[in-house]
């Protein structure tokens, strides 16, 4: 149900030059928009404060443009790899202007859903100005004072700049600027081997750039090593120069581009440098101290219910210092709506938190890794199944991948990693299993259609029972039953 006439919020009241409202939301990114839309459609009076682009990072400089660029890169790579199907391959010609138009066309298609017009239609009062606390129960934005029963800080995060000498002495790219490029970089150096760095390495390499990726440790350090090994091999096979355990010591900017010096390993010469070395919470200028709101190195300090030290104020999304994903922002929004609008108890629980690195093949994970499960004291059993045993993978010539399931006592599902095409679509089943505290038998008893990549989940789960089903005890039982059956 979207934008129905009967589902509009009440308007804030203006008294003595001050807007009085139920809820004031600072930030119109994924987290803030989810709270504002939900609260307004439930009848609350809502003020939304945003000085920059509606939709925030996800729509304008994050998830949407990056996945649009990756889709184009995938299409280019399909042309190169058509030979495996008996189709003559060829090197694609990338039109940078049309590629740019594609990426920004996708943003434009989604933007109306996040627009001022839509939210004003829901009854939300939108203030297009920077907001700051002027007291524990008041925010000022563009000369307008707002007092609210509850406030939600959802100002997101920005690309962090590591303290490398010379880095900011010249132009560098971040996720906030790279999608505005009018040309394909001749040689793109990427500083950072997390999901953003790896995804952009794949995208620009497939679109014709030479790419060098520099990571101070191993790439994708939060993921299962077996899964990362598959992606590492894929990156190198496609021609990405991958420098792991490499520490950048300084940067030199010059007319032809940039030179990135590495400790004990010379320098990387490139035309462009993308910094993808983490995020920092957007807390500057909010007047948090005035409102009695504490921060730490990752963002605003909150309790398990996302409430700050000021009982009127919640912080959600990236600025709350937890996992930085758009789906977490939406999850946080649901918790705050339950607490702020209905006074119900609600707490964050990341036991079934999924994440996906959208490369080829995709790497999807939910729950605990094997190492984390062992560190937490679980009695761990591991199930693993290669993608090569899946018939759909064979038909599509995409057999590099695996599924790894981490089980606890009585076969309870603790965590799963999948490396496969569209692994992000397959991981939700396992997230539900973890959330509902299901055992592996529930997956083993499922009935996926044939032939699908998703069958690998059932096959892996069935492996848990193989020793018992095909062991000597089962053989004796079958022999005994057969003697007595008519």
DSSP 17-43: TEEEEEEEEE--SHHHHHHHHHHHHTT
Give the DSSP letter of residue 47. Answer: E
Q: List the beta bridge partners of residue 49.
A: 26, 127
- Binding-site residue ranges for FAD: 67, 131, 155-157, 318
Per-residue pLDDT of the chain (486 residues; tens, 9 = 90+): 354 444 677 899 999 889 999 999 999 999 999 999 999 999 999 999 999 999 999 999 999 999 999 999 999 999 999 999 999 999 999 999 999 999 999 999 999 999 999 999 999 999 999 999 999 999 999 999 999 999 999 999 999 999 999 999 999 999 999 999 999 999 999 999 999 999 999 999 999 999 999 999 999 999 999 999 999 999 999 999 999 999 999 999 999 899 999 998 899 999 999 999 999 999 999 999 999 999 999 999 999 999 999 999 999 999 999 999 999 999 999 999 999 999 999 999 999 999 999 999 999 999 999 999 999 999 999 999 999 999 999 999 999 999 999 999 999 999 999 999 999 999 999 999 999 999 999 999 999 999 999 999 999 999 998 877 777 887 787 778 888 887
Give the model's pLDDT for residue 160: 96
Could you give the maximum distance between any two Cα atoms of the chain, in Å?
A: 92
Facing residues of 355 across strands?
365
* Nearest partner of 378 among 348, 411, 402, judged by Cα: 411
Residue ranges of the binding site: 67, 131, 155-157, 192-199, 278, 318
Question: β-pairing, 241-243 with 210-214?
Answer: parallel
Q: Is 445 helix (H, G, I), strand (E, B) or coil?
A: coil
* CA-based torsion, 206, 211, 214, 218: positive or negative: positive
Please name each of the domains of the chain with its CATH number.
13-54+115-159+280-342 (3.50.50.60), 167-278 (3.50.50.60), 354-469 (3.30.390.30)
Give the residue ranges of the annotated binding site for NAD(+). Answer: 192-199, 278
pLDDT score of 486:
79
Separation of alpha carbons 44 and 47, rounded Å: 10
Give the DSSP per-residue string, 244-277.
-S--EEEEEEETTEEEEEETTS-EEEESEEEE-S
List all residues 6 or more positions away from 107 whose beta carbon is below 8 Å from its beta carbon: 59, 60, 64, 65, 68
Which pair of tokens denotes residue 420? 């496969």
Euclidean distance between CA atoms 21 and 126, whole angstroms: 12
pLDDT value for 310: 98
Q: How confident is the model at residue 6, as a pLDDT?
A: 46
Please give the pLDDT value at position 485: 85
Q: Are 116 and 129 in contact (CB under 8 A)?
A: no
H or E, element range at 205: helix 195-206
């Amino acid at each position: 149900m979207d934008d129905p006439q009967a589902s509009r919020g009440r308007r804030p009241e203006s008294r003595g030059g001050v807007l009085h409202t139920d809820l004031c939301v600072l930030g119109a990114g994924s987290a803030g928009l989810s709270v504002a839309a939900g609260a307004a459609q439930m009848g609350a009076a809502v003020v939304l404060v945003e000085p920059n682009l509606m939709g925030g990072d996800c729509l304008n400089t994050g998830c949407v443009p990056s996945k649009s660029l990756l889709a184009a890169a995938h299409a280019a790579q399909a042309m190169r790899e058509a030979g495996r199907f008996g189709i003559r391959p060829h090197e694609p010609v990338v039109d940078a202007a049309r590629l740019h138009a594609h990426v920004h066309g996708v943003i434009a298609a989604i933007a109306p859903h996040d627009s001022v017009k839509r939210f004003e239609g829901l009854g939300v009062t939108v203030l297009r100005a920077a907001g700051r606390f002027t007291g524990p129960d008041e925010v000022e934005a563009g000369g307008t004072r707002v007092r609210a029963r509850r406030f939600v800080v959802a100002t997101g995060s920005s690309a962090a700049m590591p303290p490398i000498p010379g880095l900011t002495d010249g132009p560098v790219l971040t996720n906030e600027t790279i999608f505005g490029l009018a040309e394909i970089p001749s040689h793109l150096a990427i500083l950072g081997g997390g999901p953003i760095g790896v995804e952009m390495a794949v995208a620009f390499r497939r679109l014709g750039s030479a790419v060098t990726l520099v990571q101070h440790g191993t790439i994708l350090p939060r993921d299962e090593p077996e899964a990362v090994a598959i992606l590492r091999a894929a990156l190198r096979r496609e021609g990405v120069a991958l420098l792991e355990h490499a520490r950048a010591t300084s940067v030199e900017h010059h007319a032809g581009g940039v030179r990135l010096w590495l400790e004990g390993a010379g320098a990387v010469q490139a035309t462009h440098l993308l910094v993808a070395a983490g995020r920092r919470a957007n807390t500057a200028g909010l007047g948090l101290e005035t409102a009695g709101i504490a921060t730490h190195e990752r963002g605003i300090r909150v309790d398990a219910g996302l409430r700050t030290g000021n009982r009127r104020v919640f912080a959600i999304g990236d600025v709350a210092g937890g996992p930085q994903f758009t789906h977490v922002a939406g999850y946080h929004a649901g918790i705050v709506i339950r607490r702020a609008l209905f006074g119900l108890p609600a707490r964050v629980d990341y036991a079934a938190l999924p994440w996906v690195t959208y490369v080829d093949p995709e790497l999807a994970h939910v729950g605990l890794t094997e190492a984390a499960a062992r560190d937490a004291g679980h009695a761990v059993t591991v199930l693993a199944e290669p993608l090569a045993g899946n018939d759909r993978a064979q038909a599509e010539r995409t057999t590099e991948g695996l599924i790894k399931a981490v089980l606890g006592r009585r076969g309870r599902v603790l965590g799963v990693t999948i490396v496969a095409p569209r692994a992000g679509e397959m991981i939700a089943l396992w997230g539900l299993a973890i959330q509902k505290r299901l055992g592996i038998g529930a997956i083993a008893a499922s009935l996926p259609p044939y032939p699908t990549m998703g069958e690998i989940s059932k096959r892996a789960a069935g492996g848990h029972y193989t020793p018992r089903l095909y062991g000597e005890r089962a053989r004796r039982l079958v022999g005994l039953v057969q003697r007595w059956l008519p």
